[in-house]
A = this chain, B = another copy of it.
Amino acid sequence: MPHQLLLDNIRNFIQLTQEEEELVLDRTTPREFKRGEFLNNEGEVNRFTNFIIKGSARVYYIEPSGHEHVVQLGISKWWVGDFPSFITQTKASMYTQALEPTEVLAFSYENLQVLYHEVPKMERFFRLLIQRAYASFHRRVLEALGMDAEQRYLAFRNVYPEMDMQIPQKHIASYLGMSPEFLSTLKRRIVDKERGRVRK
């Protein structure tokens, strides 16, 4: 029930009548992607905000030097996409790519503006959602400044244990600002430490 997942996500924040829920679902667009396909491209206006039903995706940025930075990761029940491009309807600076066969329910920019008028409570839902996204992005940037690599990985694993299981390590390494080799060494060291602790 893809629609049920979305309605559950909305119910975390606001209460809708059944009629309002139907209006919300009427404005969604189902989209499907093969592994490696793009939910939005850099250089084009991102028309959609995407709620992942199944699969996973990464949002990433390519520096002028060619170096890739994963800015966001998403699995089932996460919202993904180049959000700054979506809200300003200007060219995207990031790519959003499916990491496996992925299904989303999306709102196009146009449909979302109509929906805000049809169901004004959705203003509150998206305000709360965006606040949370902003606070977590902010926390992530400060973590990048003030934590060492091990602390960053442990904080990530603690907050997003499911992502740590599902998403390929190379993308998690890029998200945490380290090489895949370094992350792998780090994880071995942490496992050794945690075993040591259990033995005591």
Q: Mark A68-102, 1 if CB is under 8 A from B, else 0.
A: 01010000000000011001100001100000000
Assess whether A161 is interfacial by the CB under 8 Å rule.
no
State the main secondary structure of chain A at its contact with B. helix
State the Cβ distance, A72 to closest chain B Cβ, in Å.
10
Interface-forming stretch among A3-11, A15-23, A32-40, A136-144? A136-144
A135, CB-defined interface residue at 8 Å: yes
Tell me which residues across on chain B come within 8 A of A175, comparing CB atoms. none
Residue A184 interfacial (CB < 8 Å): no
Size bracket, chain A contacts: 20 to 34
Q: Cβ of A132: which chain B residues have Cβ within 8 Å of it? A: 87
Distance to closest chain B CB from A55 (angstroms): 24
Alpha-carbon gap, A183 to B133, bound state (A): 32
Contacts A63-B146, A88-B135 aside, 16 further interface pairs with beta carbons under 8 A come to: A61-B146, A64-B146, A71-B142, A87-B131, A87-B132, A87-B134, A93-B142, A94-B142, A120-B124, A123-B123, A123-B127, A127-B127, A127-B130, A130-B130, A130-B131, A137-B141
